[in-house]
Amino acid sequence: MKKNIYGLLRGTFLVSGDSVKNWRMILFVSVLAIVMIASSHSADKKVYKIARLKNEAKELRSAFIDGRGRLMELKKESSIEVKMREKGLRTSEVPPQKIKVKPQN
């Protein structure tokens, strides 16, 4: 047992006669580790991108709601009336009348 551990630490399994099998396994495990690390980095990138897009969507929704609120305020008759008074226009005292056109025969 002590001899096997000592041989492992010295690396004799890499230079012995049947070391081709060992090198193949080491190469396979190394490639597998590289693929696993790359996959992990790719997954992390996607997680960060999803989080960034969620924050951006929240900000855009907030801006949309804020804009919609300002639009509703601007569409009120009272705010329009105030702006028109500043320009010298005022609301009519006489209500509008509907014009009816009769078809000609």
The helices-and-strands tally (H runs, E runs) of the chain is 4, 0
22, 13 Cβ separation under 8 angstroms = yes
Percent of the chain with pLDDT over 90: 50
pLDDT score of 26: 84
As a whole number, mean pLDDT of residues 89-103 equals 88
Could you tell me the pTM of the whole model? 0.56
24 occurs within a structural domain: yes
Has residue 90 got a pLDDT over 90? no
As a whole number, mean pLDDT of residues 51-72 equals 97
45 occurs within a structural domain: yes
102 occurs within a structural domain: no
Model pLDDT for residues 22-61, shown as the tens digit of each residue: 788 888 999 999 999 999 999 999 999 999 999 999 999 9
Number of domains in the chain: 1
19 occurs within a structural domain: yes
Q: 25-29: long-range contacts (C-beta < 8 A, 24 or more apart)?
A: none
37 occurs within a structural domain: yes
Tokens linked to 75:
């569409």
Domain span including residue 21 = 9-86
